[in-house]
Amino acid sequence: MPAKLPWFERKFNFAYPVEHYPDIIERVRGTPARVAERVAGLPREVLIRKEGNTWSIQENVGHLIDLDELHAARIDDFLAGERVLRAADTTNRRTHEAGHNQRQMVDILAEFRRVRFGFVDRIEKLSHTDFSRVSEHPRLKQAMRLVDSLYFVAEHDDYHLARITELIRLFSH
């Protein structure tokens, strides 16, 4: 498998029409089901095993839950007309301290589904013009529309799904 570009080194080009937002919402909505399918039937020892200092499969899934609060807060920033979106904690302290490996995967998956569906329900109530609102992403130092922020969420989800796949391949032989 080719080397993956680390998340914090990625750059984004948001050169698509705002009208793509329904498609992007579907990507965001589908992540809990994709995660559940990916981890189905894996033994606990594979779910909580780490490669060096990196997160386990369970911690990667828990991280997606941990960040949905930030995603929702950034929606507030767009709607309030903030010039710059609130910053993420790039140390990921919340995930490191959450104890996701001490939980059962079934509980993590249920929480992720609940939290994510609440987020999607909220964004589906926004108007078409809300998806065109613009703020600056604090780390990327580039303007993004609310629709671009959702694309960013979907890309982040996929990044962690790809990492989960790497860990499955590494530990399931």
Pair 134, 77: CB distance under 8 Å = no
Q: Per the structure, how many domains does the chain have?
A: 1
In a domain, 9, yes or no: no
99 in the Ramachandran plot: left (φ > 0), alpha (ψ -120 to 50) or beta? Answer: left
* DSSP E strands, 4-157: 134-137, 142-145
Distance CA 89, CA 67 (A): 10
In a domain, 8, yes or no: no
In a domain, 136, yes or no: yes
In a domain, 7, yes or no: no
pLDDT given for residue 6 in this prediction: 76
The enclosing domain of 120 has a CATH number of 1.20.120.450
Please write the tens of the pLDDT for every residue from 42-89: 999 999 999 999 999 999 999 999 999 999 999 999 999 999 999 999
In a domain, 108, yes or no: yes
Both tokens assigned to 56:
């386990």
In a domain, 111, yes or no: yes
Residues 100-119 as b/e (b if ≥16 CB within 10 A, e otherwise) read bbeeebeebbebbbebbeeb
pTM: 0.93
In a domain, 10, yes or no: no
In a domain, 32, yes or no: yes
- C-beta atoms surrounding 38 within 10 Å: 14
10-residue stretch averages of pLDDT, the chain, 173 residues long = 69 90 98 98 96 94 95 97 95 89 97 98 96 96 97 96 95 81
pLDDT given for residue 3 in this prediction: 62
Q: Residue 95 carries which side chain, given as an amino acid letter?
A: T
Pair 65, 111: CB distance under 8 Å = yes
Domain that holds residue 159: 16-171
